[in-house]
Amino acid sequence: MVKLILRDKEYEVRPGMDLLAALEKCGILSESVIATRDGELILDDEILKNGDVIKLVAVISGG
């Protein structure tokens, strides 16, 4: 499985889909986050592999 982490929430999706599809599945707007894997930025078309841990960084600040 693939794990996505956003703040204190964790989501799991099946491997083989791209990041955009994974975000949609989790109900996360890709415009509102940047995604990292092993310390590198990854893009919406990145295919997620079994065991991947994707750390999402929320970009909206509301001040």
Partner 1 sequence: MKCRKCGSKASVNMRQHKLALCKEHYLEWIPEQVERHINKYKMFTHEEKILVAVSGGKDSLALWDILARLGYQVDGLYIGLGIDEGERYSSESQRLTQKFADERNLKLHIVDVEKEYGQPIPVLSELTHRGKGRPCSVCGLSKRHVMNRIARDLGYAVLATGHNLDDEAAVLFGNTLNWLGEYLLRQSPVLPESPGLARKVKPLCRFYEREMAAYAFLRGIEYIYEECPFAVGSKTTYYKELLNQLETKRPGAKLTFYLKFLEARQGGLFAEQEKIQATLTPCPNCGQPTSAPGLCSFCRLMVRAATTTAEITD
CB 6 within 8 A of CB 28: yes
Cα gap 36→56, rounded to integer Å: 6
Among 15, 16, 43, 49, which residue interacts with partner 1 (rule: CB under 8 A)? 43
Please report, for residues 12, 16, 54, the alpha-carbon distance to residue 58 in angstroms, rounded to integers and kept in the order given.
18, 24, 13
Among 8, 27, 29, 51, which residue interacts with partner 1 (rule: CB under 8 A)? 29
Among 1, 14, 41, 47, which residue interacts with partner 1 (rule: CB under 8 A)? 41
Interface residue list for partner 1 (CB under 8 A): 29-34, 36, 40-41, 43-45, 57-63
